[in-house]
Structure 1
Amino acid sequence: MTDSGHPLARRTVLGAIGLGGLGAAAAAAMPAQAATAVASEGGEIWSSEYWTKKGDIPLWIFRKRIGAPKAGEPARPVVFFVHGSSVTSRVFDLNVPGKGEYSVMNEFARYGFDVWTMDHENYGKSGRTAGNADIASGAEDLKVAVELIARETGQQKVHFVGESSGALRAGAFAMLAPDRVDRLVFAAFTYKGQGSPTLTKRAEQLAYYRSHNMRKRDREMIRSIATRDKPGTSDPAAIEVLADVEMQFGDQIPTGTYLDMTANLPVVHPEKVLAPVLLVRGEYDGIATVADLEEFYNKLPNGDRQFIILPGTAHSVALAINRQLFWHVTRAFLTMPTPIAT
Structure 2
Amino acid sequence: MTSDAVAQKLDPREEHFHIPGPRPGLSLFLRFLPAMKGEFKPRRAVLYLHGATFASALSVAYRFGDEHPDERSSDTQSWRDALNDAGFDVWGLDFYGFGHSDRYPEMSQPAADNPPLCVAEDAAQQLNAAVQFILGRQRLEQLSLISHSWGSMPACLFAAAHPARIDRLVLFAPIGRRGPRRYETPAALPAWRIVTPRDQWTRFTEDVPEHEKPVLSRAHFAEWSQRYLDSDPESRCRDPAGVKTPLGPFSEIIKAWHGQLAYDPARVRAPVAIIRGEWDGLMLDDDARRLFDGFGQSPVKRDIKIGRGTHLMHLEMMRAALWRESISFLRGDDVASVP
Q: Give TM-score, length-normalised by structure 2.
A: 0.78
Name the residue aligned to 1:128. 103
Q: How does 1:18-97 map to 2 (within 5 A)?
A: 46-55=13-22, 56=24, 57-67=26-36, 74-90=41-57, 91-97=59-65
Corresponding residue SS for 2:177: coil
Corresponding residue SS for 2:13: strand
Tell me how many residue pairs correspond in the alignment.
287
Name the residue aligned to 1:281. 276
Contact 2:170 2:272 in 1 (8 A): yes
Corresponding residue SS for 1:121: coil
Contact 1:276 1:302 in 2 (8 A): yes
Contact 1:51 1:59 in 2 (8 A): yes
Note the C-alpha offset of 1:336.
Answer: 2.3
Corresponding residue SS for 2:168: strand
Name the residue aligned to 1:188. 173
Identity of aligned residues (%): 21
Note the C-alpha offset of 1:227.
Answer: 0.6
Corresponding residue SS for 1:233: coil
Q: Counterpart of 1:124 in structure 2: which amino acid?
A: G
Q: Counterpart of 2:154 in structure 1: which amino acid?
A: R
CA distance in 2, matches of 1:68, 1:307: 30
Pick the aligned partner of 1:320 from 294, 298, 316. 316
CA distance in 1, matches of 2:13, 2:178: 39
* Shift in CA distance, 268/211, structure 1 to aligned 2, threshold 3 Å: closer
Comparing 271-280 with 231-240, greater Cα deviation is found at 231-240
CA distance in 2, matches of 1:50, 1:77: 19
* Shift in CA distance, 68/340, structure 1 to aligned 2, threshold 3 Å: closer
Name the residue aligned to 2:238. none
Q: How does 1:262-301 map to 2 (within 5 A)?
A: 262-264=254-256, 265-300=260-295, 301=297
CA distance in 2, matches of 1:104, 1:112: 13
Unaligned residue ranges in structure 2 (runs of 5+): 1-10, 67-73, 107-115, 236-242
Name the residue aligned to 1:104. 79
1:278-334 Cα deviation digits (max 9, x unpaired): 001110000021112111212322231110100010111211211011011101101
Note the C-alpha offset of 1:215.
Answer: 0.8
CA distance in 2, matches of 1:233, 1:193: 28
Pick the aligned partner of 1:214 from 172, 192, 196. 192
1:229-265 Cα deviation digits (max 9, x unpaired): 1161233333223211121213210000111111253
* Shift in CA distance, 339/45, structure 1 to aligned 2, threshold 3 Å: farther
Name the residue aligned to 1:9. none
2:257 maps to 1:261: no
CA distance in 2, matches of 1:145, 1:246: 23
CA distance in 1, matches of 2:324, 2:64: 20
1:120-153 Cα deviation digits (max 9, x unpaired): 0111111111260111121111100011111211
1:59-103 Cα deviation digits (max 9, x unpaired): 00001123499xxx9432101111000111112112322781341
Name the residue aligned to 1:239. 221
Unaligned residue ranges in structure 1 (runs of 5+): 1-43, 197-202
CA distance in 2, matches of 1:107, 1:336: 16
Corresponding residue SS for 1:100: helix
Q: CA RMSD in A?
A: 2.6
Name the residue aligned to 2:139. 154
Contact 1:65 1:106 in 2 (8 A): no
Contact 2:35 2:90 in 1 (8 A): no
